[in-house]
Amino acid sequence: MGDVIHNLPIIRDIHFHFPNAIIDWVVEEGFVDIVKLHPEITNIIPIAFRRWRKSLFSRKTIAEISSAINHLRQTQYDYIIDSQGLLKSVLITLLAHGPSYGRSWKTNREAFASLFYRHRFEVPFEQHSVGRNRQLTALALSYPNPSNSPDYGLASTHLAKAVSPALKLPSNFVLGLHATSRDSKLWPIANWIEVGQSLEKMGISLLLPWANNSEFERASTIAKQLKFALVLPKLSIQALAEISASAKAAIGVDTGLVHLAVALNIPSIAIYTDSEPALNGALAAENQIAFNLGAKGKTPSPKEVLTAFKNLFV
């Protein structure tokens, strides 16, 4: 999810220099809802690498792969840009019609994949991934490397109006994004409870989303120790984006949902315990605020998070 969100700013960059550009986006099927939120993408081409590899030789999988390839090959593209830089993403560039652009051997995420691009560029690692994606696209399309803050292009105002009336939300809430892909990135439950209790003293409820059983159990454990916390029902990315648009702020661990909140211009705090935020941390748009706390082996305290929360609104 983070890779998808960190590519959104290139859409506005391209349209700034080429207002009539037609942009198609190939994306893993589970993240289609994120790309749909951007109004300036022409066509979305879903793929399902994660699901296909579980039953690669089944009739259904073969038929879906064949359909995806046909979809890819229907258009003659002027530019095919692989910002992910992996062997699986370079496969897309080989299947589509048009010249491919990517990073060099030294600067691609998977060096071997760079051999298959027609055009390769040096894009240094020592910058945030959003900057790397914007620089690659600028080099490919021959416009100056952007120096302004990223514009993710997601409008949150219409999303807030789309929340289902059946879901009764508190009038004042913070989104608590407690779940992540690795246990080493989790923030202790006791810390969440302490922050939740402090928020409640300010009249703010903590909303807790989840996607699987272990995440539901963690959310329930946190909520049981709070008076006004709400464990959300299992939601799609689209539905969660709609709820996020109404949030006072988002507080979360190293997860794609934190980046989604940032892209929706929600004041956000990202908590890092087992990774470094310098290259992949929350990066806010112009006139927006996002704080990155902690680092690999440096877990931020509830006090640090609460101080950052108060500073979101100074």
In a domain, 151, yes or no: no
Residues 136 and 49 in one domain: yes
Residues 251 and 195 in one domain: yes
User: Which of 115, 141, 167 is the last residue before a domain boundary?
Assistant: 141
Closest CA to 197 of 311, 314, 306, 307: 306
For every one of its 314 residues, what pLDDT tens digit does the chain have, with 9 covering 90 and above? 989 999 999 999 999 999 999 999 999 999 999 999 999 999 999 999 888 988 888 989 899 889 888 888 889 999 999 999 999 999 999 999 999 999 999 999 999 999 999 999 999 999 999 999 999 999 999 999 999 999 999 865 456 555 555 678 899 999 999 999 899 999 999 999 999 999 999 999 999 999 999 999 999 999 999 999 999 999 989 889 989 888 999 999 999 999 999 999 999 999 999 999 998 999 999 989 999 999 999 999 999 999 999 999 86
Residues 66 and 132 in one domain: yes
How many structural domains is the chain composed of? 2
pTM: 0.91
In a domain, 148, yes or no: no
- Give the C-alpha separation, 79 to 137, whole Å: 10
What's the token pair of residue 296? Answer: 């690999």
- Give the C-alpha separation, 272 to 252, whole Å: 9
- Give the C-alpha separation, 42 to 51, whole Å: 25
Closest CA to 108 of 121, 93, 95, 126: 121
